[in-house]
Amino acid sequence: MGVSSPDELDRVDTDIAVIGSGGAGLMCVLRAKARAPELDITVISKGAVGRSGCTRMVQGGFNAVLNEDDSLDLHLLDTLDGGKYLNDQELAATLVRDAPKVIRELETRAGCFFDRAPDGRIHQKAFAGQRFDRTVHRGDLTGIEIMGRLRDQMLRLGVREMEDVRALEIVRDRAGELAGLLVLDIRSGRPVLVRARVVVVATGGAATMYKISAPAREKTGDGVALCWRAGLDMRDMEMMQFHPTGLLAGRSRLNGAVLEEGLRGAGAHLYNAEGERYMQRYDPERMERSTRDIVSRSSYLEIMAGRGTEAGGVLIDISAALGAEEVERRFPGMVERTRQIGEDLARRPVPVSPTAHFHMGGAIIDQDCRTGIEGLLVAGEDAGGTHGANRLGGNGVAESTVFGARSGDTAAELAATRDLREPDTGQLGDILRRVYAPLERSGGELPFGLTAELKELMWTDCGVVRDRAGLQRALAGIDELTERVAKVGVPGPAEVNFAWQEALDLVNQVQVAKLVATSALLREESRGAHFRSDFPDADNDEWLRYVVLNRVDGEIGVDYRPVEFTRHEPPKPTAQADQAEPTQQVGAP
């Protein structure tokens, strides 16, 4: 083992430790430094700082109310409708209220350039599920624009970067107070103790536990797993969003990569293998501009009914609506992405599939990103509540930057009041033994096959359409995988050891998968991204409450909490269901 005892650990002392360097993490840094320039801030990133993660992958844009004909209340209503009223309405209202301010901050302080309309105002395009065109963008490369500018600003501020470093565990002192975290330098294989007055968790979600998924490959549920092991309660863990249009690319790393929602907003049509524009069956009023949950489920049901393509997907076509030159002008990033795998979005239909994309569930926070542990903040996709049962396209990067900014304000405030603490050496020793165990275990199973099994299991039994039998299979399979993961062995050395990193990823993935499947089994209705074919209808009387999971003597405890309608009551049920038809009713056109 690289370190035999906690006394040999390399150490870093800092005021604020930020885990993650996407939109939430870097906005946290900018705001904290603006509030208190003297603060020592350390950014810990599993990949390249500011150049990995998911914010830079955002194609679509950022929802914000900028037009006098739009309103904050309309944006809030769209967000609550999309979330099927499972949202924490105060978090959702905070997102909506702060989004225009953050757009201005990104332009004036970070230097972002967003597309302009002919009159000089910021151009806003259509996104599904919204009653007003409010999505701010930079072509279809919005995330690259935001992250490039945020990283430029961070470099100017002289923040400490710990790159290619993974967070292992939140650590406490002997009195149980937050003391910082233990991290692992992937290149050297050595652990480092980071003592911090405040820790901000902003690592992103866990969608890569599915066979077809959209996020960056380093996004393996680390933040949620860290928070869970630290003792935080989790909400809405069953709510995993599947984006309707993930590129089908076989064994390519582009398999599952998103073709963004702006295509459907611009007039793209979806077809099954029989040439039918099948959304007529599921949402004849909104068609392809229905919300992500409905379009994803509709595509999945078409495929399962035998109307999918040979590759197991459906087809999206924007070329007929706009023509090749206009598609190339408006969506250059996606055109290039499809051409890399031998397809051509500008000139013909492209094969797509639902793809695991975004986790609406996560740690419970307040509007200032505080959690149940003093000094531990959570921002972005690691937190639950803002989006409820389904996230609107364009609300994701808005959430990351809005709550990243708020976490920076809160962190600066807390750093002025909390002292550095000495971690409990007993806890540190336990963490080190667990983390290095795979390297010391001879003859153990390698992790790569286990990762493939988990992805297949979650896709099949806890995916777009769920039922009790499948979820029970998923839970049994996860328990078996958990036992096998605990016996994984990898050859050394510790330096740049991808098998070892895969094993550490798996520990977090199976832990988060267990929470997702547990919550999915408990919610016996269909709502938003969670569709149960054995309970195909939404049940507001029984299930306008959220499932909270907590740790009780090492086991999963359950609490149900009613949604508080602090801003808007849900609309009365109408004759038209908001869910796609159950599988057994989709056999014929």
SS3 call for 376: strand
Helix, strand, coil percentages for the chain (3-state, nearest 5): 40, 20, 40
Mean pLDDT (whole number) for 515-521: 98
Burial bucket for residue 131 (CB in 10 Å: 0-12, 13-18, 19+): exposed
Measured in residues, the chain has a length of 589
- Please provide the DSSP assignment of 118-183 as one string: TTSSBPEE--TT-SS--EE-STT-HHHHHHHHHHHHHHHHT-EEEESEEEEEEEE-TTS-EEEEEE
Q: How far apart are CA 215 and CA 207, in angstroms?
A: 7
Q: Report the first-to-last Cα separation within the chain, whole angstroms.
A: 61
**pLDDT computed for residue 442 by the predictor:** 85
Q: Are strands 135-136 and 124-125 parallel, antiparallel or unpaired?
A: antiparallel
pLDDT band at 158 (very low <50, low <70, confident <90, very high): confident
Q: Which tens digits make up the pLDDT trace of 376-426?
A: 999 999 999 999 999 998 999 999 999 999 999 999 999 999 999 999 999
Give the distance between the most distant pair of CA atoms in the chain. 68
Q: Which tens digits make up the pLDDT trace of 98-123?
A: 999 999 999 999 899 999 999 999 99
Q: How far apart are CA 388 and CA 528, in angstroms?
A: 8
Which of the residues 75, 151, 264, 387 is marked catalytic? 264
**pLDDT computed for residue 38 by the predictor:** 96
565 Cβ neighbours under 8 A, 6+ residues apart: 85, 89
The closest of 448, 56, 47, 352 to 219, measured between CA atoms, is 47
Angle between helices 498-522 and 448-461 (to 10 degrees): 20
DSSP state of 304: I
Q: H-helix or E-strand containing 353?
A: strand 350-359
Task: Please tell me the pTM assigned to this model.
Answer: 0.93
Spans of all domains in the chain: 243-354
For this structure, is 359 an active site residue? no
Task: Indicate if the pLDDT at residue 588 is higher than 60.
Answer: no
Q: How far apart are CA 261 and CA 245, in angstroms?
A: 8
Overall CATH class of domain 243-354: alpha beta
For residue 118 the two structure tokens come to: 């002919």
Q: H-helix or E-strand containing 556?
A: strand 555-562
Q: How far apart are CA 547 and CA 519, in angstroms?
A: 7
Three-class DSSP labels, 104-134: HHHHHHHCCCCCECCCCCECEECCCCCCCCC
Task: Indicate if the pLDDT at residue 50 is higher than 80.
Answer: no
Averaged confidence pLDDT in the chain: 92
Query: Up-side HSE of residue 575: CA atoms within 13 Å toward CB?
Result: 0
Q: CA quadruple 197, 398, 335, 295: dihedral positive or negative? A: positive
Question: What ranges in 36-88 are assigned the alpha helix state H?
Answer: 72-82
Mean pLDDT (whole number) for 235-255: 91
The closest of 384, 389, 390, 380 to 365, measured between CA atoms, is 384
**pLDDT computed for residue 585 by the predictor:** 30
Burial bucket for residue 13 (CB in 10 Å: 0-12, 13-18, 19+): middle
For this structure, is 123 an active site residue? no
pLDDT band at 3 (very low <50, low <70, confident <90, very high): low
**pLDDT computed for residue 196 by the predictor:** 98
406 Cβ neighbours under 8 A, 6+ residues apart: 31, 94, 98, 367, 368, 369, 379
**pLDDT computed for residue 72 by the predictor:** 98
Q: Which tens digits make up the pLDDT trace of 558-586?
A: 999 999 999 999 998 764 444 444 332 32
Mean pLDDT (whole number) for 343-353: 95
**pLDDT computed for residue 580 by the predictor:** 42
Three-class DSSP labels, 520-555: HHHCCCCECCECECCECCCCHHHHCEEEEEEEECCE
**Chain centre distance of CA 162:** 22
Which of the residues 243, 337, 466, 530 is marked catalytic? 243
Burial bucket for residue 557 (CB in 10 Å: 0-12, 13-18, 19+): exposed
**pLDDT computed for residue 197 by the predictor:** 98
127 Cβ neighbours under 8 A, 6+ residues apart: 60, 61, 63, 133, 134, 135, 261, 262, 265, 392, 393, 394
